[in-house]
């Protein structure tokens, strides 16, 4: 048994030695050694290239996923902001101003650059008499979008309430300029000119008022308001152009007559009739100033007829006395 073991051991040793001998023999051949080194060298290079691409791929994959996730979050935030904005508008229509402010604030929180939400919240604040908060919202809207004519127009209305007429005029000029460059479906050039004409009237810039009212009336879009004719008549009166003023009062009364025949409520008809009565009386005064007593009497009689139809006894009695004084 021991002999056999020894033989096996010897055989194993011989085999190992044989390998060593062969390896040693290879080392004596320089060409074969150089060829093996080249293979090892390129294997190392390829390994590092593969490792580099693997690392780069691992580093980019999470970034793409992160970008996609962020895009989904942004889209979700915008959808949520739009929902809050829409609900805020419905709350305003329902007269729930505090709830509207809450919704619009949520919309702004979700989308801090949502200009429409700032404007609508500012309008709500203005309606509630919270003028400082309204001003902050209009300022924010303009700082985000300097071409938004609605924000300038609303700020002009607010500055008018605050009796800062100079700032209101600047805002109206900006509203006109930005609207001309980028129109929208909310405002109309006719209304912008009319509002600036009204501001010029208050500032006693009679020529400017006449020019703005004339531009407003010349616009093709929208509905003509009798106020525009009546207010231009006031500017003409201040300028001493009584004939033009009388014509404008007549035009205002014609528009009122057309509106009364339209789809109006009884309350609206009474309000329009009262305004027409006032314009007839003002026209009568102007006709007296230019010496046309007959026309003045006709105007007063028309005013009296309206007061009688409205059962306005106080004005009816006053107008009757004026008519009698002209006979």
In angstroms, how far is CA 16 from the centroid of its own chain? 90
Question: Looking at the domain assignment, is residue 43 inside a domain?
Answer: no
Residue 63 CB-density burial (10 A; 0-12 exposed, 13-18 middle, 19+ buried): exposed
Question: Looking at the domain assignment, is residue 34 inside a domain?
Answer: no
Question: Looking at the domain assignment, is residue 74 inside a domain?
Answer: yes
Alpha helices in the chain (DSSP H): 2-27, 30-93, 97-110, 115-127, 131-144, 149-161, 165-181, 189-202, 206-218, 226-238, 242-261, 266-289, 293-309, 313-326
Looking at residues 213-224, what average pLDDT do you find? Answer: 93
CATH of the domain at 96: 1.25.40.10
Supply 237's token pair: 């009166």
The verdict on pTM exceeding 0.85 is: no
Question: Looking at the domain assignment, is residue 3 inside a domain?
Answer: no
Looking at residues 116-131, what average pLDDT do you find? Answer: 97
Question: Looking at the domain assignment, is residue 258 inside a domain?
Answer: no
**Confidence band (pLDDT; 50, 70, 90) for 221?**
confident
Taking all residues of the chain, what is their mean pLDDT, rounded to a whole number?
83
Q: How far is CA 215 from CA 190, 191, 197, 274, in A?
A: 7, 10, 9, 27
Structural domain range at position 137 = 67-180
Q: Which residues of 92-122 are buried (b: 16+ CB within 10 A; e: fewer)?
A: beeeeeeebbbbbebbbebbeebbbbbbbbb
User: Is residue 49 pLDDT above 50, yes or no?
Assistant: no
Q: Tell me the pLDDT tens digit for each residue of 177-215.
A: 999 999 999 999 999 999 999 999 999 999 999 999 999
User: Is residue 284 pLDDT above 90, yes or no?
Assistant: yes
Question: Looking at the domain assignment, is residue 107 inside a domain?
Answer: yes
- Please count the structural domains in the chain: 1
Least confident stretch, 73-82, 158-167, 170-179, 293-302: 73-82
Looking at residues 155-161, what average pLDDT do you find? Answer: 98
Q: Are 119 and 154 in contact (CB under 8 A)?
A: yes
Question: Looking at the domain assignment, is residue 162 inside a domain?
Answer: yes
Least confident stretch, 5-19, 78-92, 142-156: 5-19
């Amino acid at each position: 048994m021991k002999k056999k073991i020894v033989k096996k051991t010897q055989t194993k040793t011989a085999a190992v030695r044989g390998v060593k001998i062969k390896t040693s023999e290879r080392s004596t051949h320089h060409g074969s050694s150089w060829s093996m080194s080249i293979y090892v060298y390129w294997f190392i290079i390829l390994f590092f290239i593969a490792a580099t691409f693997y690392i780069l791929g691992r580093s980019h994959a999470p970034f793409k996923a992160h970008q996609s996730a962020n895009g989904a979050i942004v889209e979700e935030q915008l959808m949520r902001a739009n929902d809050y904005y829409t609900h805020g508008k419905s709350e305003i229509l329902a007269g729930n101003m505090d709830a509207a402010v809450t919704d619009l604030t949520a919309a702004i929180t979700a989308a801090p650059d949502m200009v429409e939400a700032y404007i609508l919240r500012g309008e709500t604040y203005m309606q509630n008499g919270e003028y400082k908060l309204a001003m902050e919202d209009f300022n924010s809207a303009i700082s985000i979008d300097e071409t938004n004519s609605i924000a300038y127009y609303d700020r002009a209305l607010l500055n008018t309430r605050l009796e800062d007429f100079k700032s209101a005029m600047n805002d109206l000029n900006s509203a006109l300029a930005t609207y001309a460059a980028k129109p929208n479906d909310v405002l109309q050039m006719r209304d912008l000119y009319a509002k600036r004409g009204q501001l010029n009237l208050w500032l006693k810039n009679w020529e400017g008022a006449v020019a703005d009212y004339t531009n407003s009336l010349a616009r093709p879009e929208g509905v003509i308001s009798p106020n525009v004719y009546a207010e231009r008549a006031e500017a003409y009166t201040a300028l001493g152009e009584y004939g033009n003023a009388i014509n404008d009062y007549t035009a205002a009364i014609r528009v009122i007559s057309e509106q009364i025949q339209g789809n109006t409520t009884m309350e609206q008809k009474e309000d329009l009739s009262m305004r027409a009565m006032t314009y007839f009386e003002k026209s009568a005064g102007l006709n007296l100033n230019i010496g046309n007593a007959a026309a003045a009497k006709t105007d007063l009689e028309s005013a009296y007829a309206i007061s009688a139809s409205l059962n306005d006894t106080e004005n009816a009695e006053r107008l009757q006395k004026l008519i009698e004084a002209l006979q």
